[in-house]
């Protein structure tokens, strides 16, 4: 027989699912529920705290308990479009009340402040708390080495343009890789070469040969939660990359854009193995706090002066620093531990979606599809057999309201290209994944029965 507090929890969860309570509206008071269930105040509070710990409700002091909006927005409902093509979560899937709270606090605290010409590297109070935050990821640095900016792309554009002490001019990128940076490199006319990366990582002998024989300025890498593969380097590979960079005077630009969301508690970034001279560490919050564009990078001390010069020059064509409100909101997010709570919620949801994804990926083997990823971050990659035309598959699925992204967009040129499509589970729920794969398999079945393209 259930305890009274367990019955209260069960009844409230049932009422939420049945639409009896609306997001943002106050739930029945402790006194009301005490009268309804003929129990003590402590019993009701225990029920509400259980719901709160399960991220179903949240509390506001001197006000009461409210439904977490994410629960309402992310119920396993159906929609006409299944969007596997984007890696950007929608705001509606986030814990909006917490965001509003941090935003309100930011406005209250910083209403008498403004961004000055001396704050191009970020608000001082935010920069000072970031070293402690980073230490949880085995990234140890001083606040003077941290620059808060609008995001990873902003930082990468500056690093591409500025000279490095090694006096080299080639940029090495993984193949495949983050397409926006690759497209910028082409647009800017940078000298760039690639190195193949697959489900097993990269060939370290090949990497050493490139470092030794080519004039590599820096190697841009996404060690974990790789976009588009959805894979991560193992510890030996990360350690070897750091050692080779130091040996051959090559800088590592490590894009840890989704570093907060890791299911491996023992994972250390490449930075943890570096000599702190040849390493630049990038971090972004766009995947976990998508309503504001903000990130930061850690720059070694000997690059500070030249990097600062290029930040100042960048103001002629773009704005480096995020808004004061964005920086202040992130600061409160970190100080109040709401970010930690938020990350826990995202990890729980992502873990559930990844289980459904992996189950569905296994069903594609009969169609000669090679499935990569699905265990790390949002992404997975489907490498296609010879009889399937990548672009036609993308278009045929689009006609059935399933959006996927063509793999060709992630490759530097045809010499690296592998026919594929990228899937992202950032904007889909578990029902979407199941429904989407049924349509994908239906299309693959048509191709396998004689529709050769």
Do 160 and 304 lie in one domain? The reply is yes
Do 266 and 286 lie in one domain? The reply is yes
Q: Which tens digits make up the pLDDT trace of 204-259?
A: 999 999 999 999 999 999 999 999 999 999 999 999 999 999 999 999 999 999 98
Do 168 and 298 lie in one domain? The reply is yes
The pairing of beta strand 379-383 with beta strand 420-424:
antiparallel
Give the separation between CA 287 and CA 347, rounded to whole angstroms: 12
- Assess if residue 94 is contained within a domain: no
Q: How confident is the model at residue 19 (pLDDT cuts 50, 70, 90)?
A: confident
Using the CB atoms, write b or e for 189-226: b if 16+ within 10 Å: eeebebbebbeebbeeeebbebbeebebbbbbbbbbbb
- Assess if residue 87 is contained within a domain: no
- Assess if residue 333 is contained within a domain: yes
433 Cβ contact partners less than 8 Å away, ≥ 6 residues apart: 353, 356, 357, 360, 425
pLDDT at 75 over 50: no
- Assess if residue 48 is contained within a domain: yes
CATH number of the domain that residue 410 is part of: 3.90.1150.10
Task: Tell me which of 338, 358, 377 is where a domain ends.
Answer: 338
Q: Which tens digits make up the pLDDT trace of 400-431?
A: 999 999 999 999 999 999 999 999 999 999 99
Do 300 and 402 lie in one domain? The reply is no
pLDDT at 77 over 50: no
Do 309 and 167 lie in one domain? The reply is yes
Domain tally for the chain? 3
The domain of 414 spans 349-448
Do 392 and 247 lie in one domain? The reply is no
- Assess if residue 316 is contained within a domain: yes
- Assess if residue 89 is contained within a domain: no
Do 251 and 333 lie in one domain? The reply is yes
Task: Tell me which of 279, 305, 338 is where a domain ends.
Answer: 338
Q: Which residues pair with 254 in a beta bridge?
A: 221, 281
CATH number of the domain that residue 30 is part of: 1.10.10.10
Which residue did the predictor score with more confidence, 105 or 6?
A: 6
pLDDT value, residue 133:
94
Q: Which tens digits make up the pLDDT trace of 302-315?
A: 999 999 999 888 77
Do 123 and 231 lie in one domain? The reply is yes
Q: Which tens digits make up the pLDDT trace of 265-318?
A: 889 999 999 999 999 999 998 888 887 889 999 999 999 999 999 988 877 667
- Assess if residue 84 is contained within a domain: no
Do 323 and 429 lie in one domain? The reply is no
pLDDT value, residue 195:
98
Do 315 and 356 lie in one domain? The reply is no
Do 168 and 58 lie in one domain? The reply is no
Do 333 and 354 lie in one domain? The reply is no
- Assess if residue 77 is contained within a domain: no
My answer on whether omega of the bond before 94 falls inside 30° of 0, hence cis, is no
Tokens standing for residue 95? 């814990």
CATH number of the domain that residue 212 is part of: 3.40.640.10
Which stretches of 191-298 are assigned E, i.e. beta strand? 191-198, 201-202, 216-221, 251-255, 279-284, 295-298
């Amino acid at each position: 027989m259930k305890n009274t507090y367990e019955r209260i929890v069960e009844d409230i969860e049932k009422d939420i699912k049945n639409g009896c309570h609306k997001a943002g509206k106050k739930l029945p008071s402790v006194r009301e529920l005490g009268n309804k269930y003929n129990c003590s105040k402590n019993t009701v509070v225990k029920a509400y705290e259980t719901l709160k710990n399960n991220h179903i409700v949240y509390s506001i002091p001197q006000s009461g308990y409210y439904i977490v909006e994410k629960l309402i927005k992310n119920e396993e409902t159906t929609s006409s479009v299944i969007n596997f093509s984007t890696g950007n979560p929608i705001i509606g899937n986030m814990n909006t009340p917490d965001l509003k709270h941090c935003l309100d606090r930011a406005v209250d605290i910083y209403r008498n402040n403004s961004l000055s010409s001396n704050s191009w590297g970020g608000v001082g109070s935010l920069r000072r708390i970031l070293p402690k935050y980073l230490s949880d990821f085995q990234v140890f640095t001083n606040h003077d080495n941290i620059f808060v900016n609008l995001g990873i792309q902003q930082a990468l554009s500056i690093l591409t343009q500025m000279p490095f002490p090694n006096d080299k001019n080639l940029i090495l990128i993984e193949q495949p890789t983050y397409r926006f940076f690759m497209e910028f490199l082409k647009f800017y006319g940078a000298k760039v070469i690639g190195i193949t990366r697959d489900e097993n990582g990269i060939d370290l002998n090949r990497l050493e040969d490139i470092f030794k024989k080519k004039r590599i300025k820096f190697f841009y890498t996404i060690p974990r939660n790789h976009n588009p593969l959805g894979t991560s380097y193992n510890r030996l590979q990360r350690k070897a990359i750091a050692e080779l960079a130091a040996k051959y005077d090559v800088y590592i630009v490590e894009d840890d854009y989704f570093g907060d969301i890791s299911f491996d508690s023992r994972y250390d970034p490449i930075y943890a193995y570096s000599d702190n001279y040849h390493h630049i560490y990038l971090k972004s919050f766009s995947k976990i706090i998508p309503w504001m564009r903000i990130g930061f990078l850690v720059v070694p001390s000997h690059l500070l002066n030249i990097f600062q010069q290029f930040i100042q020059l960048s103001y002629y064509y773009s704005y480096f620093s995020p808004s004061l409100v964005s920086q202040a909101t992130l600061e409160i997010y970190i100080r109040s531990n709401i970010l930690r709570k938020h990350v826990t919620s995202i990890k729980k949801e992502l873990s559930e979606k990844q289980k459904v994804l992996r189950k569905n990926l296994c069903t594609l083997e009969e169609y000669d599809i090679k499935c990569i990823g699905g265990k790390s971050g949002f992404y997975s990659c489907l490498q296609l057999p010879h009889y399937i035309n990548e672009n036609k598959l993308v278009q045929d699925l689009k006609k059935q309201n399933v959006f996927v992204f063509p793999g060709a967009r992630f490759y530097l040129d045809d010499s690296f290209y592998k026919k594929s499509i990228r899937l992202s589970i950032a904007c889909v729920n578990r029902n979407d994944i199941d429904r989407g794969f049924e349509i994908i398999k239906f299309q693959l079945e048509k191709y396998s029965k004689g529709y050769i393209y």
